[in-house]
């Protein structure tokens, strides 16, 4: 606990025991021998066959590390997700290994098989990639004692799904993810040029703002260290635009305008992952913040205003969904169809409209109330 706040260490990470799950996915292996987790164990994914015409491919999240110290802490449980890999289990899995993967994965949210909850994708064929590479699914390097092969893992996943029929003529493919998975999917979308794809990016933003908490290193510093140490591939046009600061091309604020693939972007105005780190100095998510009036609350309000302004001003290929809520990565939970924007949309309804309307017709849903947590956040 810090300052009496309720801390939630496992929120917004990959999971296989979702409350109220209606979809059961089965584990499948990957063919590439270099498609491995940080500890060298073979990566795998979870699959459910459904409609041959509708596909969902989702990259899971769960934080990251960026240098030897942060990776040691991630492995020994002193950093997010606070699971010691030496004593981990199915219920509290190591995020750097596949050793705790169960044979079946029970999912809800965007994976729901209930059409009233998930009108766009209830009957889809589904692939869910758990997260064991700590590199937002875009690294390809050996570093320290670990392998960071997220890019090889995703490439092997896509090849396997194509062999099963993904991308054939007449199919709708939604490719995306949540949190670290969304940041990875953001950098993957334009590379998936062998078939038509639509992006779903839940919480891909990192804002380039100086942290309020002196104990937090800062997202730019994390992004640059991870890019350098893990051999992260970025968009060529973005790299040319920011040739002196290529790390910017791994952060949503800078990278999203270069993504040409049509996509739906979800970004809470008070993103609880970013703000828990940058304001409260906690590596994880503070579930119920008690923000102090004055500079601390002013920072949070300015963060919300900056997010809102970026969403309104940035031209992207597709709509944006942004509630004025303290939240992050809700698409793997019932909040996918319960949390509403002030104009009565949910992520589920926004995704359905996005897939059925032309790019210029799919509406934005961006809350404009001025206070902290002033949206319909339940």
What per-residue confidence (pLDDT) applies to 314? 76
**What is the predicted pLDDT for the residue at 76?**
98
**Cα 222 to the center of its chain, rounded Å:** 16
The better pLDDT of the pair 132, 316 is held by: 132
pLDDT digits (tens, 9 = 90+) for 331-345: 999 999 999 999 999
Domain definitions of the chain by residue range: 7-366
Rounded Cα gap, residues 69 and 74, in angstroms: 9
Residue 3: predicted pLDDT: 54
Give me the pLDDT at residue 6, please: 54
Is residue 5's pLDDT more than 80?
no
> Higher model confidence: residue 5 or residue 367?
367
Q: What is the pLDDT of residue 87?
A: 98
Picking from 95, 159, 171, the residue whose alpha carbon sits closest to that of residue 131 is: 95
- Percent of the chain with pLDDT strictly greater than 90: 88
Residue 7 confidence (pLDDT): 54
265, containing H or E segment:
strand 263-266
104 and 16 in contact (C-beta within 8 Å)? yes
Residue listed under structure tokens 């790019």: 359
> 305 in helix, strand or coil?
helix
Taking the C-alpha atoms of residue 105 and residue 28, their distance in angstroms, rounded to an integer, is: 11
Residue 286 has pLDDT above 70, yes or no: yes
pLDDT of the residue at 9: 45
pLDDT value of residue 171: 93
> To the nearest whole number, what is the mean pLDDT of the chain?
94
Angle at 336 between CA 335 and CA 337, to 5 degrees: 85
Smallest Cα–Cα separation from 255: which of 190, 329, 158, 196?
A: 190
What is the Cα 323 distance to its own chain's centre?
A: 17
What size, in residues, is the chain?
A: 378
Return the pLDDT at 313: 86
pLDDT higher than 90, residue 212: yes
Confidence at residue 93, expressed as pLDDT on a 0 to 100 scale: 96
Structure-token pair, residue 351: 């995704």
Q: What is the pLDDT of residues 165-186, one digit of tens each?
A: 999 999 999 999 999 999 999 9
Q: For residue 88, how many C-alpha atoms fall within 13 Å in the half-sphere facing its CB?
A: 22
Residue 10: pLDDT band (50, 70, 90) is very low
Task: Report pLDDT digits (tens) over 184-206.
Answer: 999 999 999 888 999 999 999 99
| pTM metric for this prediction | 0.96
pLDDT of residue 194: 87
In this predicted structure, the answer to whether residue 11 has a pLDDT above a threshold of 60 is: no
Give yes or no for residue 359 having a pLDDT over 90.
Answer: no
The string of pLDDT tens digits covering residues 20-52 is 899 999 999 999 999 999 999 999 999 999 999
Q: Which of 105-109, 144-148, 288-292 has the lowest mean pLDDT?
A: 288-292
* pLDDT for the residue 358: 67
User: Which region among 225-229, 287-291, 295-299 has the lowest average model confidence (pLDDT)?
Assistant: 287-291
Lowest mean pLDDT among 155-164, 171-180, 274-283, 355-364: 355-364
From residue 10, alpha-carbon distances to 197, 347, 360 in Å are: 30, 22, 37
**What DSSP letter does each residue of 194-226 carry, written as one string?**
TS-EEEEEES--------SSTT---HHHHHHHH
């Amino acid at each position: 606990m810090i300052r009496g706040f309720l801390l939630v260490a496992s929120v917004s990470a990959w999971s296989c025991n979702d409350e109220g799950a209606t979809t059961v996915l089965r584990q499948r292996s990957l063919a590439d021998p270099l498609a491995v987790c940080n500890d060298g164990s073979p990566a795998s994914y979870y699959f459910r066959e459904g409609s041959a015409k509708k596909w969902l491919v989702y990259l899971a999240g769960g934080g990251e590390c960026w240098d030897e110290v942060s990776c040691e802490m991630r492995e020994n449980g002193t950093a997010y997700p606070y699971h010691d890999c030496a004593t981990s289990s199915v219920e509290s899995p190591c995020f750097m290994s596949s050793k705790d993967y169960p044979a079946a994965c029970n999912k809800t949210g965007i994976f729901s098989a209930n059409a009233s909850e998930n009108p766009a994708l209830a009957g889809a064929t589904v692939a869910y990639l758990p997260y064991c590479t700590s590199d937002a699914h875009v690294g390809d390097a050996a570093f320290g004692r670990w392998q960071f092969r997220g890019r090889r893992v995703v490439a092997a996943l896509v090849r396997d799904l194509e062999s099963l029929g993904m991308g054939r003529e007449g199919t709708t493919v939604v490719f995306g993810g949540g949190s670290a998975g969304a940041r990875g999917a953001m950098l993957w979308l334009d590379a998936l040029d062998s078939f038509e794809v639509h992006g779903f990016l839940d919480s891909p933003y990192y804002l380039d703002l100086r942290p309020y908490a002196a104990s937090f290193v800062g997202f730019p510093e994390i992004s640059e260290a991870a890019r350098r140490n893990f051999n992260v591939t970025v968009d060529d046009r973005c790299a040319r635009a920011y040739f002196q600061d290529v790390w910017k091309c791994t952060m949503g604020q800078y990278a999203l305008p270069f993504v040409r693939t049509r996509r739906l972007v979800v970004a809470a105005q008070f993103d609880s992952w970013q703000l828990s780190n940058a304001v409260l100095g906690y590596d994880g998510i503070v579930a119920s913040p008690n923000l102090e009036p004055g500079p601390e609350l002013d920072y949070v309000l300015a963060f919300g205003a900056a997010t809102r302004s970026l969403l309104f001003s940035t031209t992207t290929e597709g709509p944006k969904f942004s509630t004025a809520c303290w939240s992050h990565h809700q698409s793997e939970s019932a909040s996918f169809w319960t949390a509403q924007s002030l104009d009565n949309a949910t992520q589920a309804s926004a995704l359905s409209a996005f897939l059925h309307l032309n790019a210029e017709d799919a509406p934005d849903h961006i809350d404009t109330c001025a206070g902290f947590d002033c949206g319909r956040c339940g």
